[in-house]
């Protein structure tokens, strides 16, 4: 199995080395963990948006259905 550094272009490795503080592996692992957390958060956010959208649509349907009686409780 090839080392990961063999699969990354030299220019990209040089850019990583500039900021990796002499620990390329730890830097790459940290970047991968950050990316995984970001992707997980995006998926969670998408699920929340889907649920909110569904709930809002249901609320609108209920409001239209009971529109004539909604004011009754306020009097």
Mean pLDDT throughout 6-23? 86
pTM over 0.85: no
pLDDT at residue 31 greater than cutoff 80:
yes
Instruction: Quote the domain boundaries for residue 58.
Output: 4-63
Residue 28 domain-assigned? yes
Q: How far is CA 17 from CA 2, 35, 47, in A?
A: 19, 19, 37
Q: 22's torsion region: left (phi>0), alpha (psi -120 to 50) or beta?
A: left
Local confidence band at 71 (pLDDT 50, 70, 90 cut-offs): low
pLDDT at residue 12 greater than cutoff 60:
yes
Mean pLDDT throughout 18-22? 86
Residue 74 domain-assigned? no
Residue 55 domain-assigned? yes
Residue-wise pLDDT tens digits, 41-53: 999 999 998 888 8
Q: How many domains does the chain have?
A: 1
């Amino acid at each position: 199995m090839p080392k990961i550094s063999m699969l990354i272009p030299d220019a990209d490795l040089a850019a990583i080395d500039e900021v990796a503080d002499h620990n390329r592996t730890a830097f790459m692992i940290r970047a991968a963990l950050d990316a995984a957390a970001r992707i997980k958060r995006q998926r969670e956010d998408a699920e929340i948006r889907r649920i909110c959208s569904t709930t809002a649509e249901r609320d609108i349907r209920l409001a239209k259905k009971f529109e004539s009686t909604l004011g009754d409780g306020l009097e």
